[in-house]
């Protein structure tokens, strides 16, 4: 499912206009991105939580040549599914 399909389904479910659903979805995603990039955790009870993590620098291998390469440390986004979300996925 892509963003437009999500907007269409939410619009049908809530009987709100597609334009207003799109604005709300954009605002929610922007707020989550901003909070996580500032180091905050975002918890949506029943759905899951988004947080920022650190990946340490390490030595990797070039898959073509097998030569070692240095990989820099990086900030990563972590998502942990909530219990209700996990249960609904496993119920099917």
Domain-wise residue ranges, the chain: 1-40
User: How confident is the model over 9-29, as a mean pLDDT?
Assistant: 97
Verdict on whether the full-model pTM lies above 0.85: no
Q: How would residue 42 be classed by pLDDT, with cut points 50, 70 and 90?
A: very high
The whole-angstrom separation of Cα 62 and Cα 92 is 40
Q: Tell me the torsion sign for CA atoms 48, 50, 51, 52.
A: positive
Report whether pLDDT(92) > 90: no
Evaluate whether 52 touches 76 at the Cβ level (below 8 Å): yes
What pLDDT does 11 receive?
A: 97
Q: How would residue 76 be classed by pLDDT, with cut points 50, 70 and 90?
A: very high
What pLDDT does 60 receive?
A: 95
What pLDDT does 21 receive?
A: 97
Q: Please state, as a whole number, how many other Cβ atoms lie within 10 Å of the Cβ of residue 62.
A: 9
């Amino acid at each position: 499912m892509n963003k437009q399909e999500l907007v269409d389904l939410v619009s049908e479910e809530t009987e709100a206009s597609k334009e207003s659903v799109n604005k709300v979805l954009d605002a929610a995603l922007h707020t989550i991105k901003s909070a996580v990039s500032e180091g905050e955790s975002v918890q949506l009870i029943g759905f899951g939580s988004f947080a920022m993590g650190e990946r340490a620098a390490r030595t990797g291998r070039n898959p073509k040549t097998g030569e070692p390469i240095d990989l820099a440390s990086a900030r990563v986004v972590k998502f942990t599914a909530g219990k209700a979300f996990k249960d609904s996925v496993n119920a099917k």
